[in-house]
Amino acid sequence: MKIGNIEMGNTPVCLAPMAGTSSVTFRAICVQQGASYGPTELVSARSISYGNFERSFRYMKISPSEEKITAIQLFGFEPSDFEEAVKAICSDDLLKDVDIIDINMGCPVAKVVKTGAGSALMNDPERAFRIVESTVRAAESFGKTVTVKTRIGFGEFGPASVEFARGLAASGASMVCVHGRTAKQMYGGEADWNAIRKMRDAVASEGVKFFSNGDVKDEESALRLLDVTEADGIMVGRAAMGDPWIFARIRAALDGRETPPAPSVREKCDMLIRELKGTVSNIGETTGVKEMRSVMPHYLKGLRGASGVKVELCRATTVKEVEVILKGFCDTWI
């Protein structure tokens, strides 16, 4: 299956972009476990268009050799910012090999919405479509593919949501991914897969690829989401935090193979350390350990005796400290 000019293989299962989680290290880990790819977290098109790479670079960092398919996600309000951002990315030595530019039209966070970007674009469809057109124009000249990630609506799902999806496809997006919540819902309540399905029908009639997203918790829910929405692929977000093995399990279920064995406690701790060390090598030990505090406890989810260890991990300041804490924990399991 192809998205634009990128070969994806059968039924892509991707890591959803998540600010604070979708680092280049974690994306590479997920791809190794079977994820098709994962976009970076959202990065401001305006700040890149102003040449402000210094602040944004760490969020845009890609590793084509490890990730295989790479995607940078941009958010913004002005179509010209996207055009300039694409040109800047495609002219940068370390970013120019990116495959996909993904446009964020789903972020519900107030500081993004109040600038008219993210999910606010669902309330301003004409602008949203101009953003897609401008991005596609700039990206095409570098041979890059453009995708959009959005939601089932801003305040509520309705005919306007379906028209919005159709408009994104008609404006030149090669793939539209829909998260089954409205912006008003943020991350609460349940994803409405039937609403996603209605948006999928509109996009499919334009001959454009469609991904669904929201509330995949395991391989069984992944297969159900694909079934209900008849999507070409899916994105998995929160369930992958601390559990990159979910991609191997979903892949096995899709291929009709047996579920791979669950990782041992030691394998979980080793993977945590691998993600931590990768993060630290990119952004330094002080910031890296601090930012991993919200991620590390996920690796120990559901493990007996882990609650005290999770608290200790959230106080750690060095890799060594984390290693000592985890060694003590693993030893209790042998």
Ligand X SMILES: Cc1cc2nc3c(=O)[nH]c(=O)nc-3n(C[C@H](O)[C@H](O)[C@H](O)COP(=O)(O)O)c2cc1C
Active-site residue numbers? 107
Judged by DSSP in three states, 284 sits in coil
Pick from 20, 143, 155, 189: which binds ligand X (CB under 6 A)?
Answer: 20
The tokens describing 39, both together, are 């976009």
CA distance 218 to 216: 6
Instruction: Output the smallest distance, CB 238 to ligand X, in A.
Output: 3
User: Which of 236, 265 has the CB closer to ligand X?
Assistant: 236
Instruction: Output the smallest distance, CB 234 to ligand X, in A.
Output: 9
Judged by DSSP in three states, 115 sits in coil
In the chain, which ranges are continuous DSSP H helix?
A: 24-32, 45-49, 53-60, 64-67, 79-90, 110-113, 125-140, 159-170, 193-204, 219-229, 246-255, 265-283, 285-292, 296-299, 307-313, 319-331
Q: Does residue number 284 form part of the binding site for ligand X (CB under 6 A)?
A: no
Interaction with ligand X in 63-92: which residues (CB under 6 A)? Answer: 73
Pick from 13, 14, 16, 103: which binds ligand X (CB under 6 A)?
Answer: 16
Instruction: Output the smallest distance, CB 214 to ligand X, in A.
Output: 5
HSE value, Cβ hemisphere, 13 Å, CA-based, for 130: 12
Altogether, the residues listed in the chain come to a count of 334
Q: Does residue number 19 form part of the binding site for ligand X (CB under 6 A)?
A: yes
The tokens describing 87, both together, are 């040109």
Q: Token match 């998540």: residue?
A: 18
CA proximity to 67, closest of 42, 21, 34, 102: 34
Instruction: Output the smallest distance, CB 41 to ligand X, in A.
Output: 4
Closest residue to bound ligand X by CB? 237
Interface region with ligand X, contact rule CB under 6 A, candidates 11-19, 128-136, 155-163, 194-202 = 11-19
Total residues contacting ligand X (rule CB under 6 A)? 23
Interface region with ligand X, contact rule CB under 6 A, candidates 13-21, 134-142, 221-229, 266-274 = 13-21
Q: Does residue number 42 form part of the binding site for ligand X (CB under 6 A)?
A: yes
The tokens describing 157, both together, are 């799902």
Instruction: Output the smallest distance, CB 327 to ligand X, in A.
Output: 29
> What binding mask, one character per residue, do residues 190-229 give for ligand X by CB under 6 A, x or -?
-----------------------xxxx-------------
DSSP 226: H
> What binding mask, one character per residue, do residues 237-256 give for ligand X by CB under 6 A, x or -?
xxx-----------------
Q: Does residue number 187 form part of the binding site for ligand X (CB under 6 A)?
A: yes
User: Which of 182, 326 has the CB closer to ligand X?
Assistant: 182
> What binding mask, one character per residue, do residues 164-183 give for ligand X by CB under 6 A, x or -?
---------------x----
For residue 14, what are the β-bridge partners?
Answer: 235
Would residue 11 be called left, alpha or beta, if left means φ above 0 and alpha means ψ between -120 and 50 degrees? Answer: left
Q: Does residue number 104 form part of the binding site for ligand X (CB under 6 A)?
A: yes
CA distance 310 to 112: 31
Instruction: Output the smallest distance, CB 179 to ligand X, in A.
Output: 4
The tokens describing 81, both together, are 């910012």
Q: Does residue number 17 form part of the binding site for ligand X (CB under 6 A)?
A: yes
Q: Does residue number 186 form part of the binding site for ligand X (CB under 6 A)?
A: no
CB-based burial, 252-268: b 16+ in 10 Å, e otherwise = ebbeeeeeeeebebeeb
Round the CA-based radius of gyration of the chain to a whole number and report it: 20
Would residue 185 be called left, alpha or beta, if left means φ above 0 and alpha means ψ between -120 and 50 degrees? Answer: alpha
Q: Which residues bind ligand X (CB under 6 A)?
A: 16-21, 41-42, 73, 104, 106-107, 149, 179, 187, 213-216, 236-239
